[in-house]
């Protein structure tokens, strides 16, 4: 399946945006258009397992996801089930003079009827993530 990465620079402090993105207790409240609901299943060390209801490629999905947080600059998301099972997002947050450089490496694995979307999904995912990062940055600026 496709692997890709993209980078975005946001004019907000790294620690602020990292804190917003990894605030699992409040993500569904802050970003209801992306996260319909989030339920923490377990926490162990720096890994939080969540049940997430979200929108993915225009579809509402319920998935189980591991979030691995390595403060202050790395967040890894691994989808444990659903049509994106084994998809991995590695987010790196780098302090720069303009604010924060966010690099997201994606190893996209699609299953079932989503498999045929493969490479078409890449562009859509990049666009959605770019938009979401702008919104996360705005919330971080205002916090």
- Whether the pLDDT of residue 49 is over 60: the answer is yes
pLDDT of 124: 75
Radius of gyration of the chain (CA): 14
Residues in the chain: 143
pLDDT of 84: 84
- Whether the pLDDT of residue 119 is over 80: the answer is no
> pLDDT tier at 1 (50, 70, 90 boundaries)?
low
- Specify the CATH number for the domain of residue 133: 3.30.530.20
* Alpha-helical regions (H) of the chain: 14-21, 27-30, 118-142
pLDDT of 129: 79
Question: Who wins on pLDDT, 109 or 37?
Answer: 37
Tokens of 36: 């319909």
What would the mean pLDDT of 10-30 be, rounded to a whole number? 94
Residue range of the domain that includes 14: 3-142
pLDDT tens digits for range 51-104: 999 876 677 889 999 999 999 999 999 999 988 899 999 999 999 999 999 999
Average pLDDT, the chain: 88
Measured CA angle at 92 (ends 123, 97), to 5 deg: 105
What pTM was estimated for this model as a whole?
A: 0.88
What would the mean pLDDT of 10-35 be, rounded to a whole number? 92
Based on the structure, what is the number of domains in the chain? 1
């Amino acid at each position: 399946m496709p692997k890709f990465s993209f980078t975005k620079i946001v004019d907000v402090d790294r620690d602020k945006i990292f804190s917003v993105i990894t605030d699992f207790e409040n993500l569904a409240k802050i970003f209801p258009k992306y996260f319909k609901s989030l339920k923490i299943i377990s926490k162990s060390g720096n890994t939080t397992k969540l049940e997430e209801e979200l929108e993915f490629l225009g579809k509402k999905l319920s998935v189980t996801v591991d979030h691995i947080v390595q403060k202050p600059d790395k967040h890894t998301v691994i989808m444990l089930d659903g049509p994106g099972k084994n998809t991995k997002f590695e987010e790196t947050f780098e302090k720069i003079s303009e604010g924060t450089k966010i690099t997201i490496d994606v190893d996209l694995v699609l299953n079932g009827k989503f498999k045929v979307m493969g490479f078409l999904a890449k562009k859509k995912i990049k666009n959605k993530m770019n938009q979401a990062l702008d919104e996360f940055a705005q919330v971080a600026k205002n916090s």
